[in-house]
Chain A
Amino acid sequence: GAVVSQHPSRVICKSGTSVKIECRSLDFQATTMFWYRQFPKQSLMLMATSNEGSKATYEQGVEKDKFLINHASLTLSTLTVTSAHPEDSSFYICSARSGIDTEAFFGQGTRLTVV
């Protein structure tokens, strides 16, 4: 399958700072990328869907000003957690696909800890 790479895999930041997570499709062009959040021992919750060159579509209850998503190219999407707080600590996973009816491949996830 295709490869999706997330960076960093782990990050610890201080409360009030911002942190950026990158999601890259290494061997295909990702027209759509998805960002999920996973709390410990829980399932994945879709946060937003981003199409290359367009504004992201956020799920209900997700603060777009807090979780900034940029999908400026066909191989890169970024999620920036602004003014992070301890409750933002979570496992963030991206997935990417090349077309509407194609499989979405998942990155390995980023463990964010806000102290």
Chain B
Amino acid sequence: AQSVTQPDIHITVSEGASLELRCNYSYGATPYLFWYVQSPGQGLQLLLKYFSGDTLVQGIKGFEAEFKRSQSSFNLRKPSVHWSDAAEYFCAVGGGYNKLIFGAGTRLAVHP
């Protein structure tokens, strides 16, 4: 079955600390992988995506993610978190942009 698992429901980090949000997927074909960010009451904004090629992808707002096929993972990282990064983060998988399957999300809180 196709699925996305985000093991951490809620993460709290201090401003300036590094961040890693975990994402594991199960997908029958070559996956297209995405990370989205959602602020309260807002729609989703695409942070980055992986389709093929270099397994380390750079996104907006200083985020990056690494695709590890052997681990079926696509973890999101940021070296130094800003207070404005507090939001909900969703990992998603799909065959291209078709019918994205979303994880349950990780809520990030940032302490000053």
Contact = CB atoms under 8 A, between A and B. Distances in A.
Interface residues of A, number: 27
Interface in B32-52: 36, 41-46, 49
Interface of B: 36, 41-46, 49, 90, 96-100, 102-105, 107
B109 to A, nearest CB: 14
Task: Give the 6 A-B residue pairs with the shortest CB-CB distance, closest first.
Answer: A106-B43, A106-B44, A108-B43, A43-B102, A43-B104, A44-B102
Interface string A11-30: 00000000000000000000
B97 A102 contact: yes
Nearest to B44: A106
Contacts of B107: 41
B97 A93 contact: no
Interface in A79-113: 91, 93, 95, 97, 100-109, 111
Contacts of B45: 106
B97 A43 contact: no
A103 B90 CA distance: 16
A61 interface: no
Looking at chain B's contact residues, the main secondary structure is strand
B46 A93 contact: no
A78 interface: no
Given A41-B105, A95-B44, A108-B43, 7 more contacts: A43-B104, A43-B105, A100-B98, A104-B97, A106-B44, A108-B42, A109-B41
A77 interface: no
A92 B19 CA distance: 29
A103 B42 contact: no
A4 to B, nearest CB: 8
Contacts of A111: 41
A46 interface: yes
19 contacts: A1-B46, A4-B43, A6-B43, A41-B107, A43-B103, A44-B102, A45-B102, A93-B44, A97-B97, A100-B97, A100-B98, A105-B46, A106-B36, A106-B43, A106-B44, A107-B43, A108-B43, A109-B43, A111-B41
